[in-house]
Structure 1
Amino acid sequence: MDGDAALQDLKDWQHVHNVVVPPFHLPLDAVRERAGRNHMDVAYVGDVLVGCSTVRPPEGDEAVVTVIARVLAEHRRQGFGEQLYARGLERARESGAGVIETLVLESNQDGLRFALKHGFAEVERYVLPGLTIPEIALRLS
């Protein structure tokens, strides 16, 4: 992938992230930094941006891998989340995941239903400093 295409993918990932998770608005420099440590993917239908995903590498003694799939509201319930999630799970398992987790904002009821439907169970709710909407950590059963 050439530099222009890679930059556009980062900008598209940033756009989806910032629309789906507005309390965690990320500037492009932060997205670049995350891309250096996480696997980040962008999903399109033709030239239309539909979603993005993040797979964080294994952490801790349990080798916890976090898999997050985000789909723009107008493209939900069309199977794109399934595809992003399946690719994320595959990458997580390839990386040696002992445990797979995901994170969902409490206000994202679509995302929470998706996670619960796919075998995740809530393990923790917390509010990060400066924010008011709880984030929910869920673990794959």
Structure 2
Amino acid sequence: MTAHAQPLTVRRADPADLSSSDYQAAAHVYTHARPGNPATAALLAAADVAQAQAGAIHAHWLAEVGGQVIGAAEIMEPLGSRSPGSFWLELAVLSEWRGQGAATALARALKTELSLHAPARVKAVVSEANPVALRFAQKHGFAEVERFWDRTLELSGFDAARYVRPLPEGIELTTLEQFAAQVPDVPSALHPLNEEARADLPRAPGEVHTPLPRSDMAAFLAPLDPSLVFLALRGGVPVGFTALEPSGTTGPSNTGLLTARPALAHDPAKYELMIAMTGVARTERRQGLARALKLASMEAARRAGWAVIRTSNHSGNMGMLRVNDALGFGREPARLGMLWTASAVPGRSA
């Protein structure tokens, strides 16, 4: 593509100064530049609130041409695996603007900021379907350490009955809506289970589980539709749960996926849900609870008129990969977790 007449500019924006239009523009860039990993302004803003409440380092940059945001980048301390010198970064440029210096300018801004914080390890995620981004990451010293698969399933023809298996003896399934009617402090009731499940999630080399406070569980649950969150109870105590949340996409044209999604008859406000989390207590695993919880939530979503469910699997989570394979979730191109470490590049900073 030929160079554009108007100059490229990059501006740093503190999260507190980001306007609604900035969040919308960044979400547009991330959604269309990261296959299988859409973003919304609301999710970006909520993440900033969580970072600020935790006192974590986080900063944003926007690349613009003629007032149009064509690229976005940010750094953050990963709250779920926080340690000194550990950062995650995002950097994305709209495909029609690649090759014109936006990524280089954003990377320069990221490096300048990171140099102030003695980075020891920095992680970025790129799609294997984006060889330009992959080469760019490798050029800057990043190497692959993990893989994720984004997966989707259309609900219109999904028949949950064919997958149902008997529940383990003593287990009952309920919705968050029903549970909350009986339990006055739901976040406190679910927090231990969530932390146990989070502790066992696969992570990149060197990442460790950082416990999150009860307030994080409350913030996680607050925006969810309680009729689409299912719990497994034993003796009234939660031993498993799964939660669905809207992805913010309104149809196949703005999912960011490379695999074309068919046109579906749907309410634009109910196109796609994401599985935000599925967790089962260690003592209750390998009995089919994750499968049963997912099935219950998927059937509830279908009855409520949702069109598509999306989930993401880490390559190291073989149990959940098998469950989602069995339920018919298709796989999109892999997303690659790329890691830069200071020890691997003597004398250089990220």
What TM-score bracket applies, with the shorter chain setting the length? 0.7 to 0.9
* Counterpart residue identity of residue 121, structure 1: A
Alignment of 1:9 with 2:22, yes or no, is yes
Q: How far is the alpha carbon of 1:134 from its aligned partner?
A: 1.5
Q: Which residue in 2 is equivalent to 1:49?
A: 69
Long gaps (5+) in structure 1: none
Query: What SS is found at the alignment partner of 1:107?
Result: coil
Could you tell which deviates more after superposition, 98-107 or 31-40? 31-40
Deviations 1:41-90 (A, max 9, x none): 21102312220012112654463212221111111111110110111122
Query: What SS is found at the alignment partner of 1:23?
Result: coil
Partners in 2 of 1:57 and 1:4 — Cα distance?
Answer: 19
Q: Which residue in 2 is equivalent to 1:80?
A: 102
Query: How high is the TM-score relative to the length of structure 1?
Result: 0.84
Size of the aligned set, in residue pairs, is 140
Q: How far is the alpha carbon of 1:120 from its aligned partner?
A: 1.4
Q: How far is the alpha carbon of 1:19 from its aligned partner?
A: 0.7
Q: How far is the alpha carbon of 1:107 from its aligned partner?
A: 1.2
Q: Which residue in 2 is equivalent to 1:64?
A: 86
Q: How far is the alpha carbon of 1:132 from its aligned partner?
A: 2.8
* Counterpart residue identity of residue 125, structure 2: L
Could you tell which deviates more after superposition, 128-137 or 99-108? 128-137
Deviations 1:114-137 (A, max 9, x none): 111222111222322365331111
Q: State the Cα RMSD in Å.
A: 2.4
Q: Which residue in 2 is equivalent to 1:139?
A: 339
Q: How far is the alpha carbon of 1:28 from its aligned partner?
A: 2.4
* Counterpart residue identity of residue 41, structure 1: W
Q: How far is the alpha carbon of 1:25 from its aligned partner?
A: 1.5
Partners in 2 of 1:65 and 1:108 — Cα distance?
Answer: 22
Q: How far is the alpha carbon of 1:98 from its aligned partner?
A: 1.5
* Counterpart residue identity of residue 90, structure 1: T
Could you tell which deviates more after superposition, 65-74 or 11-20? 65-74
Partners in 1 of 2:71 and 2:88 — Cα distance?
Answer: 17
Give % identity: 24
Q: Which residue in 1 is equivalent to 2:36?
A: 23
Partners in 2 of 1:27 and 1:46 — Cα distance?
Answer: 23
**Which protein has greater RCO, CA pairs closer than 8 Å, 6+ apart?**
2
Partners in 2 of 1:94 and 1:57 — Cα distance?
Answer: 14
Could you tell which deviates more after superposition, 128-137 or 64-73? 128-137
Query: Could you say which structure has the larger radius of gyration?
Result: 2
Query: How high is the TM-score relative to the length of structure 2?
Result: 0.37
* Counterpart residue identity of residue 105, structure 2: Q
Query: What SS is found at the alignment partner of 1:24?
Result: coil
Q: How far is the alpha carbon of 1:4 from its aligned partner?
A: 9.7
Partners in 1 of 2:126 and 2:107 — Cα distance?
Answer: 13
* Counterpart residue identity of residue 138, structure 1: M
**Contact kept? 1:21, 1:105, Cα under 8 Å:** yes
Q: Which residue in 2 is equivalent to 1:110?
A: 132
Long gaps (5+) in structure 2: 1-12, 52-57, 150-311, 314-328, 345-350
